[in-house]
Chains A and B, each alone.
Chain A
């Protein structure tokens, strides 16, 4: 009964996998056996793949925002103890997510946005509250797009969304809060996610 999440993950392999799926399988011949089940599934039509790319632009903004929040809070919020452990671990994960999404988008990846977090990264408690919001937005954002993605891209998104959910629960549990308040996570639409990210501090210009 070894916990499944404890098994090791080849993040490089995973990045390649997402990139291969959305860019049309260039280099699949060199893929490890891990990729092989996807070969038969790579028949999604152009419209679906282009939709995947549009959705990944939204995901890119999400991941950029997360990386920026954790980077800035680790510099400015005087974090310590378990909250600092959380921020460091989450940052490491979000950087890997960001790298995977950037690689998948390739030259189509949108530019890195600016951020104005204001007081949100200036104290431990403000950061903690913002991290809860942002991780919940990430979960709701990924969940909201699940049915719009091609199945191979969905499979990779599913590997990311549960990590965002783990972050959301972890940062709640640190302060003794109810870490999983709902029986089912509600999704958000793309426009709701964009608005919520702007509220957190994302500036696209």
Chain B
């Protein structure tokens, strides 16, 4: 599949500076003319990884690993949200179709970051979406918020990345999150593009907003540390 090759190329580019620029624009235009199922498969099937990607984490700075792990948590949040919404059966029509495509993409982002970070990748937190995945309007409202949040988060972190290869990949994901935000907004019936300039958000602001949702109920690592230790 073209999509698999495209995504493998993206991942390869994270390891080898400049390779991502070789990807053909024409391929993307061709894909856009295909149907929904092909696009959904682009995310779901695009997880074939070469050996070079598995080694990538060793070449990353601590700074970039920190930023990538922060992005990974946001991708976990989104991927789990769409997966749960798809499984709930509460979505219908264009919204159900969009959730399938976007969910597949977010899951692909998760896989990509996990592979890139290797053993440095944070574990998936436990989520409780508190019913917002079980009603279409609540789903859309939350999706709009998540996607706008992701755009602001990537925008806030991109200039802090040290590796230009990781930056090239991050900006390619950043603009996809913006496409998702506009798509969910259009489906929700609000303006997809409000301002001429999208503002970034700091890590602190993003964390505060995510915490305020109470969607993350546990972080595996913290859970492990906080377990009572049997010392007898």
Which of A's residues lie within 8 Å of B, judged by CB?
1-9, 11, 14, 89-90, 92-94, 96-97, 132-133, 136-137, 139-140, 142-144, 146-147, 151-152, 154-156, 158-170, 172-174, 176-189, 192, 196
Contacts and interface: CB of A to CB of B under 8 A. Distances in A.
B173 interface: yes
A151 B159 contact: yes
28 contacts: A1-B209, A1-B213, A3-B144, A3-B145, A3-B148, A3-B181, A4-B148, A4-B151, A5-B151, A7-B195, A7-B199, A9-B197, A92-B196, A96-B197, A133-B29, A137-B25, A159-B155, A161-B171, A161-B178, A164-B175, A168-B182, A178-B32, A182-B6, A182-B31, A185-B176, A186-B24, A186-B28, A196-B25
Which residue of A11, A146, A156, A158 has the most chain B CB atoms within 10 A of its CB atom? A158
Interface of B: 3, 6-7, 10, 20-21, 23-25, 27-29, 31-32, 34-36, 39, 42-43, 46, 94, 97-98, 101-102, 104-105, 108-109, 112, 142, 144-145, 148-149, 151-152, 155, 158-159, 164-165, 167-169, 171-183, 185-187, 191-201, 209, 212-213
A90 to B, nearest CB: 7
Contacts of A133: 29
A183 B46 CA distance: 9
Given A133-B29, A181-B28, A158 B174 contact: yes
Contact of A144 (B3, B21, B31, B181): B21
Q: Which 8 A-B pairs have the closest CB atoms?
A: A162-B178, A165-B178, A180-B179, A96-B196, A169-B182, A179-B183, A166-B182, A169-B179
A177 B169 CA distance: 25
A187 B20 contact: yes
A166 B98 contact: no
B105 A183 contact: yes
A133 B28 CA distance: 10
A133 B30 CA distance: 11
Contacts of A183: 3, 6-7, 10, 42-43, 46, 104-105, 108-109, 112, 173, 176
Nearest to A177: B32
A133 B7 CA distance: 21
A1 B32 contact: no
B25 A170 contact: no
Nearest to A17: B197
Contact of B193 (A7, A167, A174, A189): A167
Given A173-B187, A179-B98, A182-B6, 19 more contacts: A2-B145, A5-B194, A6-B194, A136-B29, A139-B175, A143-B172, A147-B164, A159-B155, A162-B174, A173-B186, A180-B101, A180-B179, A182-B105, A183-B6, A183-B109, A183-B112, A185-B28, A185-B176, A189-B21
A186 B183 contact: no
Nearest to B160: A151
Given A154-B158, A176-B94, A136 B28 contact: yes
B193 A89 contact: yes
A158 B7 contact: no
A165 B171 CA distance: 11
A47 B155 CA distance: 25
Nearest to A4: B152
B168 A167 contact: no
B118 to A, nearest CB: 19
Contact of A165 (B23, B98, B176): B176
